Structure 1
Amino acid sequence: MITVEQHLARITDGVRPLPSEEVPIIDGVGRVLAEPLLALHPVPPFTNSAMDGFAVRAAVATPGVWLPVRGDVPAGPVEPAPLEPGTAQRIMTGAPLPEGADAIVPVEDTDQPRGPAPLPERVRIDAAPVAGRFVRRAGEDVAPGAEVLPAGTLLTPAAVAAAISVGHGTARVHRRPRVVVLSTGAELRPAGEPLEPGQIPDSNGPLLAALARGEGAEVLYAASTGDGTEEFAAALHTALAADVVVTSGGASAGAFDVVKEVAEPLGVEFVEVAMQPGKPQGHGWLQPAPDGEVAGAAAGA
């Protein structure tokens, strides 16, 4: 008997990455990067304000001083005028810092109201700014060419946002593994169908299919077969168009355990795993199907 960890190691030993493809970045969610993503531009892409307030020169913006306001700098594709000595410009969060400014005075540290308001002629500075404070310098978070996401990263929504922020619209990701689930047992009935004496709903098959989908696999189909070896062998042969075949039932020592009877001569290894239920387990690498598709690993559940 082996442990669950030992059995898992045997199953994953020899697994290789699937081929990769380039996809729109939003379509890559739940898939794995096949190559690292490097920053195509700096983050931030330009020096900008981290606060709503006033762009100033810190040396002249002493507490109590009144500075004439020479214009607005909104966020967006604008090129602000250089800051004239001894003046201020009203600036919004994310707007480019005017040339000549080295600090931001938040609106809360002035005599001006928060929110929408007409551009004032002048502003009173109530708290001394520090040069560089509330200023986000171009490239201070990420420099061009820096590795943002290494190969092998699972693309989560946050990872997608990070990729977009550094200039990517597509990503090279591994193809989703194609999975077929086969449940065995003449007593199984599809979900929702009425039961005859001796029958039970096939709940394991949908469970395994849902788990596979939840891990990012493409489930080609989930089906059930009876307890005949010819029926299961035909179903297994068809299923080998997938990358992975997961079976449920038929792997123990019963008289009708067709999975073991059919798959063991093909090289599938059956073992006892230290878990209950699920003690009888099997795995193996089967030969390619005649149509040339990749063979699957059969695992009893």
Structure 2
Amino acid sequence: MSRLPAYDTALAQVLDALAPLPTARRVPLAASLGAVLAEPIAADRDLPPFDRATMDGYAVRTEDVQPGAKLLVAETIPAGKPPAQPLAPGTAAAIATGSPLPVGANAVIPHEQSDRGFPHVTFPGPRPEPWANVHRRASDARAGQAVLQPSLRMAPHHTGIAATVGCVRPLVSGAPPVARLLTSGDEVVPPAVSTATLEPHQIRNSNMVMLAGTLTAFGAAVDGSVHLPDDPHAIGEAVRRAADEVDVIVTTGGVSAGERDYFPGAIAAAGFREIIRGVSIQPGRPICVAARSGDRQVVVVALPGNPVSVLATAHLFLWPVLLRLAGASPDLPWRDVTLAEPILPNPKREAFRPAVLAQPSQQCRPPLVRVPAWAGSGDLVHTAPTHGLVRLPLQDAPVEAGTPLKYLPWAWNTR
């Protein structure tokens, strides 16, 4: 087996292989929030597409209504259903708010202005004005009319308008990288599974919620999180679908060399070229990063399955990848610190361990860090008091207290 690259070498290889995303590109609608629209968005049909009731009541022909008029209730039109027939003279149709008026009707009389009779309904009041309580077809916009203009910074109500006209991937400038999260493992179950039903061999999915929040802290837009069984077909299909829809695919688990580690094969089958596979670090040695070019660049960052490995490698690799794609400097905010207590490093791989930063009130410059004891990369609980990662030198001897080190804060601690 060839020697695995060191962290700095591996990261440089990844960043050299990637280009920033285009200034303007199509993104999922939710990811367009805050971005600038780069082309008009037009109505794909008249808005509204039919004359619709704005009140619960009765659709009528105004010429049939006068004080005391009694009309046959010919049908009931619930919301979401089209009229069964045109409205014949001398009849009315019970209608719900939002429903289309039957052909021939030109007003809606609210229930409160009737006796609600059946099969005949009586209207004691005066004749309504034509189109009373009706939202006329095309009164908002006509088919082909621009409803959103370029240079508009997309806000939530703009995404609602875009959704109304069927625009689900607007062309925008300045959108963040869009990521899809794929976790895996037959032994992994949803967090909501109760203790009473949890099997001894099962573990709850901590990676999905942790990574979703981490991606947000990195500045990415998360377009879906999916958990997959250890099944090559399901994993392959999920990778192929994500490659057509997002900029970055982030996976957890199934990336090592075991018989049931299916992500490397799925990534290759989807046309991705591996940039790195395996790095000489602890935790997170099996990490894989791959890219596909073609008509657009897509990146896969395949993280190990153990949660501390996920947390560490996301900061060490996924974060700078997202910065590169966003067109920003990929340099991470490493800081100078001093080790507070001796720690035994890994003599074979460079260790990046979760660490606790001394409180600012201690006025230490550079600040002190302490590395809490852990039970390995599956021990997520030990990270509870930590503030980031400390980089330990590759050596056999303990790292002594007072040694200057580099420290990377968790992304949510950089603000």
| TM-score, structure 1 normalization | 0.53
1:198 CA drift (Å): 3.1
Deviations 1:80-120 (A, max 9, x none): 311111111101111111111111101111112xxxxxx82
Alignment match, 1:204: none
1:27 CA drift (Å): 3.0
Deviations 1:113-166 (A, max 9, x none): xxxxxx820111132311111111111111112111111222222111101112
Farther off after superposition, 189-198 or 87-96: 189-198
Q: Which amino acid counterpart does residue 46 of structure 1 have in structure 2?
A: F
Asked whether 1:152 is paired with 2:156, we answer no
Alignment match, 2:93: 89
- Report matched runs for 1:18-167 at 5 Å: 19-112=23-116, 120-128=118-126, 129-167=128-166
- Report matched runs for 1:1-301 at 5 Å: 19-112=23-116, 120-128=118-126, 129-174=128-173, 175-176=175-176, 177-180=326-329, 186=336, 193-195=357-359, 197-199=364-366
Change in Cα spacing, 1:43 to 1:188, as seen in structure 2 (3 Å) is farther
- What secondary structure is seen at the aligned counterpart in 2 of 1:143? coil
- What secondary structure is seen at the aligned counterpart in 1 of 2:160? helix
Gaps of 5+ in 1: 1-16, 113-118, 202-221, 224-247, 249-301
CA contact (8 A) 1:74 1:91 kept: yes
Whole-angstrom CA distance in 2 between matches of 1:95 and 1:53: 11
CA contact (8 A) 1:80 1:97 kept: no
Q: Which amino acid counterpart does residue 148 of structure 1 have in structure 2?
A: V
Identity rate, percent: 32
CA contact (8 A) 2:358 2:367 kept: no
Deviations 1:146-194 (A, max 9, x none): 1111112222221111011123222112243444477697579999611
Change in Cα spacing, 1:72 to 1:184, as seen in structure 2 (3 Å) is closer
Q: Which amino acid counterpart does residue 40 of structure 1 have in structure 2?
A: D
CA contact (8 A) 2:83 2:101 kept: no
Whole-angstrom CA distance in 2 between matches of 1:184 and 1:164: 42
- What secondary structure is seen at the aligned counterpart in 2 of 1:148? strand
Change in Cα spacing, 1:24 to 1:142, as seen in structure 2 (3 Å) is same
1:49 CA drift (Å): 1.1
Change in Cα spacing, 1:28 to 1:185, as seen in structure 2 (3 Å) is closer
Change in Cα spacing, 1:121 to 1:185, as seen in structure 2 (3 Å) is closer
Count of aligned pairs:
186
Whole-angstrom CA distance in 1 between matches of 2:167 and 2:338: 48
Whole-angstrom CA distance in 2 between matches of 1:141 and 1:110: 30
Change in Cα spacing, 1:153 to 1:194, as seen in structure 2 (3 Å) is same
- What secondary structure is seen at the aligned counterpart in 1 of 2:82? coil
Q: Which amino acid counterpart does residue 27 of structure 1 have in structure 2?
A: A
Farther off after superposition, 122-131 or 19-28: 19-28
